[in-house]
């Protein structure tokens, strides 16, 4: 399936993963408790639905990173429209590139994107980027049901996604040098915020996209993903994990 087609689809949508302004704000306020946040790096910002929210909530300088230039171009337009050009800097680079020695931020933000390089890998690489007591807010897919249906287990396995139980994710954070602050599962409303516009937009996008074969494959993939959520959405979810660099 072509990446170009996926990118084209999401350029027509505001949201690229489950979420809401309320969820972003809740995670941010948890991360900012008793800690002054002046600098933020966001990994996998996409077209920046959370980036602008974070910039407004925090007043901090934000470096927003993604490896897809079309999403970043869209984000740059939004930054200009919002008059946030002094505060938000956009960088096209991979989440897993090495940073100059000594680079540190008060908060690392990664919403719906860490799967791309693997959560364990991300947590290992990003710890040195946190200033003393620095915070991280990262969202990831988790199992909720202790006995998820065979069909949904197979589905996520086929997608190459590793779903953990929140307990195991917490243990992973701790084993890699973080101290957990809190975590919570996104409400169903956040999935509807993502899937409702996607469902409405897919038919029109599919008929207009220049490469019908790839458009068909992308459509089929998301129809299947939405069917899974309709059928098994109480068995898995997205969760935000908020932690700090252990002293
Ligand atoms: C599901 S989207 C989430 C975007 C955004 N955080 C949101 O919630 O709307 C995943 C994003 O990760 C980006 N991405 C994937 N692999 C990446 C990598 N190795 N380095 C940087 N960004 C990457 C994609 O371009 C995409 O914008």
Query: Residue 214: inside a domain, yes or no?
Result: no
Q: What is the pLDDT of residue 4?
A: 95
Shortest-distance atom of ligand 1 to CA 46: 27
Q: What is the pLDDT of residue 111?
A: 97
Query: Residue 9: inside a domain, yes or no?
Result: no
Residue nearest to atom 18 of ligand 1 (CA): 94
Say how many Å lie between the CA of residue 115 and the centre of ligand 1: 9
- Closest Cα partner for 41 from 74, 88, 75? 88
Query: Residue 58: inside a domain, yes or no?
Result: yes
Say how many Å lie between the CA of residue 139 and the centre of ligand 1: 12
* HSE value, Cβ hemisphere, 13 Å, CA-based, for 12: 17
Query: Residue 64: inside a domain, yes or no?
Result: yes
- Closest Cα partner for 37 from 59, 13, 15? 59
User: Best substitution site from 66, 137, 186 to test ligand 1's pocket, by max atoms within 8 Å of Cβ?
Assistant: 66
Say how many Å lie between the CA of residue 14 and the centre of ligand 1: 14
Q: Which residues lie with the beta carbon below 6 Å from any ligand 1 atom?
A: 15-17, 19, 44-46, 49-50, 65-68, 71, 94-95, 111-113, 116-117
pLDDT tens, residue by residue, 207-225: 999 999 999 999 999 999 9
Q: Mean pLDDT, to the nearest integer, of 154-183?
A: 97
Domain count across the chain = 1
Say how many Å lie between the CA of residue 85 and the centre of ligand 1: 21
Say how many Å lie between the CA of residue 116 and the centre of ligand 1: 7
Q: What is the pLDDT of residue 83?
A: 97
Q: What is the pLDDT of residue 230?
A: 98
Say how many Å lie between the CA of residue 47 and the centre of ligand 1: 9
pLDDT tens, residue by residue, 13-67: 999 999 999 999 999 999 999 999 999 999 999 999 999 999 999 999 999 999 9
> In which band, very low, low, confident or very high, does the pLDDT at 1 lie, cut at 50, 70 and 90?
low
Residue nearest to atom 27 of ligand 1 (CA): 46
- Contact between 211 and 34 under an 8 Å Cβ cutoff? The reply is no
Query: Residue 204: inside a domain, yes or no?
Result: no
Residue nearest to atom 25 of ligand 1 (CA): 68
Query: Residue 48: inside a domain, yes or no?
Result: yes
Q: How far, in whole angstroms, is CA 34 from its chain's centroid?
A: 24
Query: Per DSSP, which regions of the chain are E strands?
Result: 39-43, 61-66, 88-92, 105-110, 130-143, 178-185, 236-245
pLDDT tens, residue by residue, 77-133: 999 999 999 999 999 999 999 999 999 999 999 999 999 999 999 999 999 999 999
Give me the CATH number covering residue 125. 3.40.50.150
Say how many Å lie between the CA of residue 30 and the centre of ligand 1: 23
Say how many Å lie between the CA of residue 114 and the centre of ligand 1: 8
- Contact between 131 and 105 under an 8 Å Cβ cutoff? The reply is yes
Query: Residue 136: inside a domain, yes or no?
Result: yes
User: Best substitution site from 44, 63, 218 to test ligand 1's pocket, by max atoms within 8 Å of Cβ?
Assistant: 44
Q: What is the pLDDT of residue 2?
A: 85
Query: Residue 198: inside a domain, yes or no?
Result: no
């Amino acid at each position: 399936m072509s990446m170009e087609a996926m990118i084209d689809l999401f350029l027509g949508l505001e949201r690229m993963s489950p979420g809401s302004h309320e969820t972003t704000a809740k995670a941010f306020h948890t991360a900012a408790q008793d800690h002054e946040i002046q600098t933020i790096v966001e990994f996998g910002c996409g077209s920046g639905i959370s980036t602008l929210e974070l910039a407004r909530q925090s007043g901090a300088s934000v470096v927003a990173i993604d490896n897809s230039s079309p999403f970043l171009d869209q984000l740059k337009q939004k930054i200009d429209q919002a008059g946030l050009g002094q505060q938000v800097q956009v960088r096209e680079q991979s989440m897993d590139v090495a940073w100059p020695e000594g680079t540190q931020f008060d908060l690392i933000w990664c919403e719906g994107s860490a799967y791309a390089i693997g959560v364990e890998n991300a947590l290992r690489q990003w710890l040195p980027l946190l200033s003393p007591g620095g915070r991280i807010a990262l969202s990831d897919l988790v199992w909720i049901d202790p006995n998820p249906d065979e069909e949904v287990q197979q589905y996520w396995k086929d997608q190459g996604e590793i779903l953990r139980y929140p307990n195991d994710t917490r243990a992973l954070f701790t084993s890699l040098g973080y101290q957990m602050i809190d975590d919570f599962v996104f409400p169903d409303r956040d999935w509807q915020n993502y899937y409702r516009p996607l469902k409405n937009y897919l038919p029109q996008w599919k008929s207009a996209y220049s490469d019908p074969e790839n458009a068909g494959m992308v459509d089929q993939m998301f129809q299947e993903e939405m069917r899974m959520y309709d059928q098994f959405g109480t068995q898995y979810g997205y969760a935000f994990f908020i932690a700090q660099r252990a002293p």
